[in-house]
């Protein structure tokens, strides 16, 4: 039996996406740039996937650019936005609880002479608009904050962040890492108020190896490309399009959008049921989680995450202790939230998806109850 509860790390490809990829790999395998019927058919599939992403973001198709992953979208957005704005200033603001893709892209910019302010998160891992307001300066040219934190599920009020930038008449561009928010909480690109939005396929039941960057106004923003070469993606992202992945991303976005409320409601109910049972059975348990429906972060202070993970894995239950990109080491997110080491070291992240069942959640709760009884009876 395999119980996959690490859906913030990655998700299973849904049948609609798998079918779309198979079709492109085996039937419509032309190159979208080829000037013959098979090329035109491939281009049609490409543009239809773009329309599907645009619908899911409530954006125009000309504002959606395909990339190879969320990390690429973030790197492109931050590097090129900083470059575009460099004559106005060199101050960048981001958050301490951001994903490594953002923190390391910003660290590279710092090496190239940009000044970086890093805002501490609130207790749940989200960023307060008032903290952003306090960090804004006349020479701030770029702000990058995530919509949903990948470790705690905390939601940052991005429209309020955008409003603070507007309030002081700043020309700073706003990038939002919406990799964990996309198709989990409803949002329209224009309502977020961000100039740039990064999303990733494998978090929403599409394969790994595809992402997208929303650029407000599309080519008009004058963002420079990260990769140069051919004329793909309006010349902004060269390289033959990964059409199987892109078609699958489009299909997954269409499916996710049409059932957004249903799937999110389902995940939220499971998350709440899980919290209810875990807190009754484990009186020491702390819930470190935010409001996103698919991420639950709990801690059993005094216990060790790795030991609990191994115990659960022996039963075929897969959870994680922090971001999958972290591969060991303490969670920088929980540290930035100011949590004590014993709480951080006993933390587990449980990730739900539309495929998660009540039986699986019961198996997890049984597993944690038995782990606590068998491994740490003195703490009970
Ligand atoms: N941003 C967040 C919040 C994430 O959770 C992830 C994935 O772990 C990424 C960015 C990177 O996305 P990708 O794995 O597609 O590069």
3-class DSSP string for the chain: CCEECECCCCCCCCHHHHHHHHHHHHCCCCCCCCCCHHHHHHHHHHHHHHHHHHHHHCCCHHHEEEECCHHHHHHHHHHHHHHHCCCCCCEEEEECCCCHHHHHHHHHHHHCCCEEEEECCCCCCCCCHHHHHHHCCCCEEEEEEECECCCCCCECCHHHHHHHHHHCCCCCEEEEECCCCCCCCCCCHHHHCCCEEEEEHHHCCCCCCCEEEEECCHHHHCCCCCCCCCCCHHHCCCCCCCHHHHHHHHHHHHHHHHCHHHHHHHHHHHHHHHHHHHHHHCCCCEECCCCCCCEEEEECCCCCHHHHHHHHHHCCEECECCCHHHCCCCCHHHHHCCCCHHHHHCEEEEECCCCCCHHHHHHHHHHHHHHHHHHCHHHC
For 156-186, how does the pLDDT look when each residue is reduced to its tens digit (9 = 90+)?
A: 999 999 999 999 999 999 999 999 999 999 9
Tell me, what's the pLDDT at 325?
53
Q: Which two tokens stand for residue 263?
A: 């799937």
Distance CA 198, CA 192 (A): 12
Residue 327: pLDDT band (50, 70, 90) is low
Question: Residues near 186 by Cβ (< 8 Å), separated by ≥ 6?
Answer: 260, 261, 264
For 236-258, how does the pLDDT look when each residue is reduced to its tens digit (9 = 90+)?
A: 999 999 999 999 999 999 999 99
Q: Which two tokens stand for residue 5?
A: 């509860």
Tell me, what's the pLDDT at 218?
98
- Calculate what percentage of the chain has a pLDDT beyond 90: 93
For 193-236, how does the pLDDT look when each residue is reduced to its tens digit (9 = 90+)?
A: 999 999 999 999 999 999 999 999 999 999 999 999 999 999 99
Nearest CA to ligand 1 atom 12: 70
Tell me, what's the pLDDT at 375?
84
Tell me, what's the pLDDT at 329?
77
Specify the higher pLDDT residue, 338 or 373. Answer: 338
Residue 376: pLDDT band (50, 70, 90) is confident
User: Under a CB-based contact definition with an 8 Å cutoff, are residues 376 and 303 in contact?
Assistant: yes
CA of 104 to the centre of ligand 1 (A): 13
Distance CA 374, CA 354 (A): 32
Q: Which two tokens stand for residue 228?
A: 């140069």
Nearest of 311, 302, 295, 321 to residue 363 by alpha carbon: 311
Instruction: Assess whether the C-beta atom of 97 lies below 6 angstroms from ligand 1.
Output: no
Residue in the structure block whose two tokens are 């490309």: 225
Tell me, what's the pLDDT at 377?
64
Tell me, what's the pLDDT at 380?
57
Mean pLDDT (the chain) is 96
User: Under a CB-based contact definition with an 8 Å cutoff, are residues 75 and 122 in contact?
Assistant: no
| Nearest atom, ligand 1, residue 177 CA | 1
pTM for the structure as a whole = 0.97
Instruction: Assess whether the C-beta atom of 67 lies below 6 angstroms from ligand 1.
Output: no
- Calculate what percentage of the chain has a pLDDT beyond 70: 97
Q: Picking from 3-7, 49-53, 323-327, which range would have the lowest pLDDT averaged per residue?
A: 323-327
User: Under a CB-based contact definition with an 8 Å cutoff, are residues 45 and 24 in contact?
Assistant: yes
Judging by DSSP bridges, how do beta strands 196-200 and 173-177 pair with one another? parallel
User: Under a CB-based contact definition with an 8 Å cutoff, are residues 311 and 371 in contact?
Assistant: yes
User: Under a CB-based contact definition with an 8 Å cutoff, are residues 298 and 288 in contact?
Assistant: yes
| Nearest atom, ligand 1, residue 101 CA | 10
User: Under a CB-based contact definition with an 8 Å cutoff, are residues 76 and 226 in contact?
Assistant: yes
Average pLDDT over residues 285-300: 96
Average pLDDT over residues 297-308: 94
Exposure of 360 in the CB half-sphere (CA atoms within 13 A): 21
End-to-end CA distance of the chain: 29
Other beta carbons within 10 angstroms of residue 58's beta carbon come to: 14
Average pLDDT over residues 252-272: 98
Instruction: Assess whether the C-beta atom of 179 lies below 6 angstroms from ligand 1.
Output: yes
| Nearest atom, ligand 1, residue 146 CA | 3
Residue 1: pLDDT band (50, 70, 90) is confident
Instruction: Assess whether the C-beta atom of 99 lies below 6 angstroms from ligand 1.
Output: yes
Active site residues: 325
């Amino acid at each position: 039996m395999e119980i996959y509860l690490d859906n913030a790390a990655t998700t299973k490809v849904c049948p609609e996406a798998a079918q779309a990829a198979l079709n492109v790999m085996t039937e419509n395998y032309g190159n979208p740039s080829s000037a013959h019927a098979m090329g035109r058919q491939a281009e049609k599939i490409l543009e239809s996937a773009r329309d599907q992403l645009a619908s899911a973001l409530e954006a125009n198709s000309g504002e959606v650019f395909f990339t190879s992953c969320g990390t690429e979208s973030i790197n492109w957005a931050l590097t090129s936005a900083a470059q575009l704005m460099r004559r106005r200033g060199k101050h960048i603001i981001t958050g301490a609880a951001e994903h490594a893709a953002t923190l390391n892209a910003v660290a590279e910019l710092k090496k190239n002479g940009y000044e970086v302010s890093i805002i501490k998160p609130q207790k749940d891992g989200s960023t307060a608009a008032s903290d952003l307001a306090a960090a804004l300066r006349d020479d701030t040219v770029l702000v990058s904050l995530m919509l949903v934190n990948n470790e705690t599920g905390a939601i940052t009020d991005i429209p309020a962040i955008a409003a603070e930038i507007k309030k002081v008449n700043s020309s700073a561009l706003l990038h939002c890492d919406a990799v964990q928010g996309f198709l989990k909480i409803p949002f329209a690109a224009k309502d977020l108020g961000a100039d740039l939005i990064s999303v990733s396929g494998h978090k929403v039941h599409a394969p790994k190896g595809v992402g997208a960057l929303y650029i407000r106004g599309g080519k008009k923003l004058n963002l420079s490309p990260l990769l140069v070469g051919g004329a793909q993606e309006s010349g902004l992202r060269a390289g033959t399009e990964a059409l199987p992945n892109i078609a699958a991303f489009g299909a997954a976005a269409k499916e996710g959008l049409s059932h957004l409320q249903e799937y999110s409601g389902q995940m939220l109910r499971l998350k709440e049921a899980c919290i209810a049972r875990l807190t009754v059975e484990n009186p020491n348990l702390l819930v470190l989680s935010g409001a996103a429906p698919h991420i639950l972060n709990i801690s059993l202070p005094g216990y060790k995450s790795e030991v609990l993970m191994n115990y659960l894995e022996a039963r075929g239950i897969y959870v994680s202790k922090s971001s999958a990109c972290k591969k060991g080491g303490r969670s920088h997110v929980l540290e930035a939230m100011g949590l004590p080491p014993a709480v951080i070291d006993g933390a587990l992240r449980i990730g739900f998806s539309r495929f998660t069942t009540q039986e699986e959640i019961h198996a997890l709760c049984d597993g944690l109850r038995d782990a606590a009884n068998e491994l740490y009876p003195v703490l009970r």
